[in-house]
Amino acid sequence: MISLFRLLTFCLPLFLTTSGMAERELWKVGVSSETVTPNGPMWMAGYAGRTRPSEGKTHDLFVKALALQSADGTRMVFVTSDLISVPRPIRDTLEKQVAEKFGLSPDELMINCSHTHCGPEIRTTRWALDGLPPERLQAATEYAEFLQRTLLKVVGDALVDSSPAKVSYCRARCGFAMNRRTPSPTGFRNFPNPDGPVDHDVPVLRIDTPEGKLRAVMFGYACHNTTLGFYKFCGDYAGFAQQYLENAHPGVTALFVLGCGGDQNPYPRRTLSLARQHGRSLSNAVETALETDAKPLPPAIKSAIGMATVDYQRPPSRDTLLQLARSTNKYERIHAERLLKQLDTEGHLRQQYDCPVQVIRFGTNLTLIALPGETVVDYSLRLKNELSIGDGSGPSVWVAGYSNDVFAYVPSRRVLLEGGYEAGGAMRYMTTVLQHGPFTPTVEERIVSKVHELIRKLVSKSSVR
């Protein structure tokens, strides 16, 4: 019988020669996944007009983690979720927990949500919980606690799963996202606009074993995850795309990262079969990206996170709010009542918000920017334009929205000045953070200049080394 020692001494050189890669050329990568579908009926997130709790599921909702470790031991953990939002308290708690348990710093953690409108409501803040009936309050609180525990578990599991891997970047395109802001005589309305800006890039991070077997794909797309608005739990097009990829590649984990899709919708929409079709289109785009020559990413990573302070326009007076509280529009009335309560209990309405901006550099080959809020497409188009080198020799640029704190729509200066839903009209529907109205037109510059500041910090850090 061949001894274990002989087997190991036989296999080890074989492993190194078949992979053909020395340890210093490889990353260490781990992946993990957990379902977060509520066990029973729960109120759902995304549409203010829902009138009853969920009624079953189409498929499960997941949180997933991808943990990377570079050759010098620097780590980065990406967490993705089939959920409406990343409320700041969830991110802050997870940030503390992973620092204590795993020694991760805040910049080494990125959390993104798919923004499916067929997931459970996530209520964690005072204003999101205010006035809920006791039963709904209890269900929301228990779910938030369960989610928090599960997020910590996926991060821990992904770190434990760590094994040598190759990481590369590729991309393709997918066309079902369309701009949803159409000018009309009464302002911009939510309607497909074939002339509006779009970002059809599908960036893909591919993870292979040293021998070249696919282990995971993390892919992005800039489009609201809103084909559906029914009463079943469902990951919508992003959920189907991940499901199709995992079915086609058994053992592979597929993670979806939502881009700057604040003003983009999937069209056509409203039926389950369309959600499946869009999911298929996106999974096909990822398959196509996997067929291209992927750009190898040597095992080097640096990340930085910082706060961009954005200002709100002048708040309404108490008299105006009292008037609005008598409005015949239910949503306007409720918003005014909540703001009056905020004024009474806190003494003032919000004037500023500090939102997290994150930059992750994969050596000099790929820069991933994670923006907060429901960022509109102008951000990804602008940043890709400003950060890419025209001849393709510079770093590829991947811009994610809906990351680390989804507190409001984040319009560009253009969208803000045009007005409409994403410009500030949606503020009355925001539950997690109570906000009275639009940001000032400086919002875009505050966020973009923070991105550039963080990149400069990372570049100077690398050149010092």
- Quick one: DSSP state of residue 61? -
Question: How buried is 195 (Cβ within 10 angstroms: 0-12 exposed, 13-18 middle, 19+ buried)?
Answer: exposed
What residues between 407 and 426 interact with Zn ion by CB under 5 A? Answer: none
HEC-encoded secondary structure of 348-389: CCCCEEEEEEEEEEECCCEEEEECCCEECHHHHHHHHHHHCC
- The Cα 142–Cα 116 span in angstroms is 20
Minimum distance from CB of 137 to Zn ion (Å)? 24
For the record, the structure tokens of 362 come out as 């994969």
Query: Mask 66-105, x = binds Zn ion (CB under 5 A)?
Result: ----------------------------------------
What residues between 140 and 159 interact with Zn ion by CB under 5 A? Answer: none
What residues between 362 and 381 interact with Zn ion by CB under 5 A? Answer: 374
- Quick one: DSSP state of residue 72? T
For the record, the structure tokens of 343 come out as 């004024």
3-state secondary structure of 311: strand
Which amino acid is residue 442, in one-letter code?
T
Q: Where are the alpha helices (DSSP H) in 196-324?
A: 236-248, 272-291, 318-324
- The Cα 104–Cα 302 span in angstroms is 13
Judged by CB, which is closer to Zn ion: 30, or 438? 438
Judged by CB, which is closer to Zn ion: 118, or 165? 118
Judged by CB, which is closer to Zn ion: 270, or 314? 270
CB 446 within 8 A of CB 310: yes
Minimum distance from CB of 256 to Zn ion (Å)? 15
- The Cα 220–Cα 258 span in angstroms is 6
Minimum distance from CB of 404 to Zn ion (Å)? 16
Judged by CB, which is closer to Zn ion: 199, or 374? 374
3-state secondary structure of 219: strand
Judged by CB, which is closer to Zn ion: 121, or 374? 374
What residues between 33 and 52 interact with Zn ion by CB under 5 A? Answer: none
Judged by CB, which is closer to Zn ion: 189, or 295? 189
Taking CB atoms, the residue at the shortest distance from Zn ion is 374
Minimum distance from CB of 224 to Zn ion (Å)? 6
The DSSP H or E segment spanning 93 is helix 88-102
Using CB under 5 A as the binding criterion, the count of chain residues that bind Zn ion stands at 1
Query: Mask 164-183, x = binds Zn ion (CB under 5 A)?
Result: --------------------
158: left (phi over 0), alpha (psi -120 to 50) or beta: alpha
- The Cα 180–Cα 175 span in angstroms is 14
Minimum distance from CB of 229 to Zn ion (Å)? 12
Minimum distance from CB of 115 to Zn ion (Å)? 6
Minimum distance from CB of 8 to Zn ion (Å)? 53
Query: Mask 205-244, x = binds Zn ion (CB under 5 A)?
Result: ----------------------------------------
User: CA 187: distance to chain centroid?
Assistant: 29
Judged by CB, which is closer to Zn ion: 374, or 378? 374
Judged by CB, which is closer to Zn ion: 246, or 374? 374
Minimum distance from CB of 161 to Zn ion (Å)? 32
Contacting residues toward Zn ion, per CB under 5 A: 374
